[in-house]
């Protein structure tokens, strides 16, 4: 990514650096030089596929710098996106299978089991107990792909719900969007966290640093959100996030305090400890229960959303923990992408 933007820049994200023939062709097409688009890559979890999907999805969010809005509904790009989605979704269904005996209620109960032991694979546990400030900066940079548009993918499900489920979903989203206060929007709180950690808080700034495992977690939300047929899966994903968020946020707040981070960084997670503990109950008893009262046939889809979320989060955790435990960066550094450039504004202790 060659574009350098100042903090607080409100332009859309720049086009990312390609990672293969497909993302290169899409990038040139979006720049106005229409290319013959190659077929989808064979690797459903690979960099080329997920960078391409992420780029195409951004056309439905805040757009891309220099790319005309008309490309959002370009027939050739939509046809390509559908093919990539089919490959990704097919692999998720294979790798996150469900059985007839697993209900949404049972799947949510299983999420409440806390990770135990040093080898649990929990990112928040590792960061709390052993992580360094550099580890946390990498984690924060990668999570920014979602948190700087927090709750946006889930908003797509609102017109597809009704009754209890819709009312409860809107209530949770109202909190996520700051309850009427722009400075309390959770995406803004995350931008404040990034600034506190001396990271660039510009929307989309760290796409080039994100490995495919990180891109996939965000692409899944967009995939579920943009398809009415996957509304049950999106509700399952949303429920999985809300059920697991509060305990993980508590550990991450403890990690930041140990590392000597500032109050804005800590506040993002302490805000989620309390808010998401409430959201967990609302999402279980009103959003999920309300949806399944109206459409009981979607129970398996809710379970799929929960299981697919866990599968992709496990893949990301494995990537990050393997790198950090071996003293390496977890960021994508191939091509022109570069490791984080930290601009210290205060002295912070290197925890661990």
CATH number 1.20.120.530 is the correct assignment for the domain at 103-325: no
Question: What pLDDT, on a 0 to 100 scale, did the predictor assign at position 346?
Answer: 39
Angle CA 53–89–249, to nearest 5 = 75
Question: What pLDDT, on a 0 to 100 scale, did the predictor assign at position 279?
Answer: 83
Contact by Cβ (8 Å): 265, 256:
yes
Question: What pLDDT, on a 0 to 100 scale, did the predictor assign at position 2?
Answer: 36
* Whether residue 22 has pLDDT greater than 80: yes
Confidence of residue 336 (pLDDT cuts 50, 70, 90): very low
Contact by Cβ (8 Å): 83, 39:
yes
Confidence of residue 345 (pLDDT cuts 50, 70, 90): very low
Contact by Cβ (8 Å): 26, 80:
yes
| Element containing residue 312 per DSSP (H, E) | helix 299-325
Q: Where would I find the H helices in 59-183?
A: 75-95, 104-111, 123-129, 133-147, 152-155, 163-176
Mean pLDDT (the chain, rounded): 91
* Whether residue 200 has pLDDT greater than 90: yes
Per-domain residue ranges of the chain: 21-94, 103-325
Confidence of residue 348 (pLDDT cuts 50, 70, 90): very low
Contact by Cβ (8 Å): 83, 44:
no
Output 352 or 20, whichever has higher pLDDT: 20
Q: How many CB atoms lie within 10 A of CB 48?
A: 22
Confidence of residue 190 (pLDDT cuts 50, 70, 90): very high
Contact by Cβ (8 Å): 240, 310:
yes
Determine what percent of the chain is predicted with pLDDT higher than 70: 89
Residues 107-143 pLDDT 10s: 999 998 766 656 567 999 999 999 999 999 999 999 9
Contact by Cβ (8 Å): 302, 237:
no
């Amino acid at each position: 990514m060659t574009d350098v933007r100042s903090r607080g820049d409100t332009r859309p994200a720049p086009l990312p650096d390609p990672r293969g023939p497909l993302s290169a062709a899409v990038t040139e097409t979006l720049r106005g030089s229409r290319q013959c688009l190659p077929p989808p890559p064979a690797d459903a979890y690979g960099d080329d596929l997920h960078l391409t999907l992420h780029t195409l999805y951004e056309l439905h969010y805040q757009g891309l710098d220099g790319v005309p809005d008309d490309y959002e509904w370009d027939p050739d790009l939509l046809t390509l996106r559908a093919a990539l989605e089919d490959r990704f979704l097919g692999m998720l269904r294979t790798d996150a299978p469900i059985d007839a005996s697993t209900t949404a209620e049972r799947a949510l109960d299983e999420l409440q089991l806390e990770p135990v032991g040093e080898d649990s694979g929990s990112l928040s546990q590792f960061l709390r107990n052993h992580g360094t400030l550099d580890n946390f900066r990498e984690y924060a940079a990668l999570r920014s792909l979602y948190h700087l548009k927090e709750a946006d993918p889930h908003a797509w499900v609102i017109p597809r719900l009704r009754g209890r489920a819709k009312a409860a979903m809107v209530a949770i989203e109202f909190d996520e969007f700051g309850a009427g206060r722009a400075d309390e929007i959770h995406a803004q709180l995350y931008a404040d966290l990034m600034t506190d950690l001396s990271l660039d808080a510009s929307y989309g700034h760290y796409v080039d640093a994100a490995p495919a495992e990180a891109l996939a977690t965000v692409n899944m939300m967009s995939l579920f959100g943009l398809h009415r047929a996957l509304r049950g899966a999106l509700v399952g994903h949303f429920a999985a996030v809300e059920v697991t968020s509060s305990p993980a946020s508590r550990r991450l707040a403890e990690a930041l305090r140990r590392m000597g981070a500032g109050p804005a960084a800590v506040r993002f997670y302490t805000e989620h400890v309390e808010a998401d503990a409430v959201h967990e109950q609302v999402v279980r008893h009103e959003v999920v229960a309300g949806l399944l009262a109206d459409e009981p046939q979607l129970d398996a889809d809710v379970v799929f959303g929960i299981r697919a979320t866990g599968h992709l989060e496990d893949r990301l955790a494995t990537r990050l923990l393997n790198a950090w435990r071996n003293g390496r960066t977890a960021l994508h550094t191939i091509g022109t992408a570069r490791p984080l450039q930290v601009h210290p504004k205060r002295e912070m202790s290197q925890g661990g």
